[in-house]
Amino acid sequence: MPGNKTLVLVSRPNGPLAPDHFAIVDKEIPALAEGQIKVRNFYASLDPGIRKTLGEDKSYWQPTPLGAALTANTVGRVLESRHAGFQPGDLVFGTGAMQEISVYTPGKMCWKLPPDSRLPLSAHVSILGGTGLTAYFGLLDVGKPQAGETVLVSGAAGAVGSIVGQIAKIKGCRVIGIAGGPEKTRRVVEKYGFDGVIDYRGKSREDLQAAIAELCPDGVDLYFDNIGGIQLDAALSQMKWRGRVAVCGLISEYERTEGSGQIMHNLFSIVAKTLRVEGFLSFVYHQQFREAQRELEQWILEGRLVYDDYIREGIESAPEAFMALFSGANNGKVMVRIAAPDDAI
């Protein structure tokens, strides 16, 4: 039986992640049942939301049991098939385990990659996968930006935030980002084309409010939040009457320990300005993914949209890559290359 290296959770973090919360173990590859496929994975994503499954509380997924694999989005090639619609050699996307070889049931968070895509395989777990699709549906369907509006985006140098800002620009909005540190803030303006940016590091809630007020003097129509905490609190104070807040994620809260949270000061703005505050999960849009992937790829090929991938080599690098999401060390979508793709699409 060949090995199947898999990233598993060995202890529950209480606060920041550390390498010893994880282990790489060999898992058995189950025999294929009728309707299943066996896939060699090339790339696997590390998604901040998975941090929420490492504790004991239920989030949108069940807690990861100790000893079980971490969930990841993967792209890979079919090795063996007991599904009539899939042949060995097909390239597929799947949501499953962070491991070398996965058994998937097509139709259940597993499908073929678009055969006509001209982007590299890694793009299918980033700009054409969870990252790009989250930005696309969160901004366009939840946020509903209108040309001429002011859009504020937190996590603006990140995988989702950088795409949100660029799509908002494509839609004719004025876009301001919030990101951490001089290198990231420079990239937000110079590479992703935002109209302005705020470096949140070292700033209090009041400082952030003042910085947003300065760059958005008429207020914010739409705030796309990836971060939560004082960035959300500060943004609420600067929203326009009937503004919208698209809540994509609250990464500043994911490693918070019991009792360490900040008090929100501006929640009453939701009432006073009759704001619409709406959370969303990208996978509820799965029936519209193909259409969105086509548009995202078109924008990339036309040079109107750029994206960055932060790729680390080997499944052994997954714990460190995961931790980069919370330290801010990543520049783009965090993923690991589990095996070299054997050829292009």
Q: How many of the chain's residues bind ligand NAP (CB under 6 A)?
A: 29
Q: Which is nearer to ligand NAP, 113 or 227 (CB)?
A: 227
Both tokens of residue 167?
Answer: 């799509």
Q: Which is nearer to ligand NAP, 179 or 239 (CB)?
A: 179
**Length of the chain as a residue count:** 345
Q: Which is nearer to ligand NAP, 104 or 136 (CB)?
A: 136
State which of residues 54, 167, 236, 251 lies at the interface with ligand NAP (CB under 6 A): 251
99 is an interface residue for ligand NAP by CB under 6 A: no
Q: With 0-12 CB in 10 A as exposed, 13-18 as middle and 19+ as buried, what is 157?
A: buried
State which of residues 248, 296, 305, 336 lies at the interface with ligand NAP (CB under 6 A): 248
Smallest distance from ligand NAP to CB 275, Å: 19
Q: With 0-12 CB in 10 A as exposed, 13-18 as middle and 19+ as buried, what is 256?
A: middle
State which of residues 6, 150, 237, 252 lies at the interface with ligand NAP (CB under 6 A): 252
CA 285/CA 299 separation, integer angstroms: 20
> Does residue 173 contact residue 164 with C-beta atoms inside 8 Å?
no
177 is an interface residue for ligand NAP by CB under 6 A: no
CA 37/CA 43 separation, integer angstroms: 17
159 is an interface residue for ligand NAP by CB under 6 A: yes
220 is an interface residue for ligand NAP by CB under 6 A: no
φ and ψ of 312, to 5 deg: -110, 145
73 is an interface residue for ligand NAP by CB under 6 A: no
Helical spans, DSSP H, in the chain: 130-137, 159-170, 182-190, 205-215, 229-237, 269-272, 289-301, 318-327
285 is an interface residue for ligand NAP by CB under 6 A: no
**Interface positions with ligand NAP (CB under 6 A):** 47-49, 130-131, 134, 155, 157-161, 179-180, 184, 226-227, 248-252, 280-282, 325-326, 328, 330
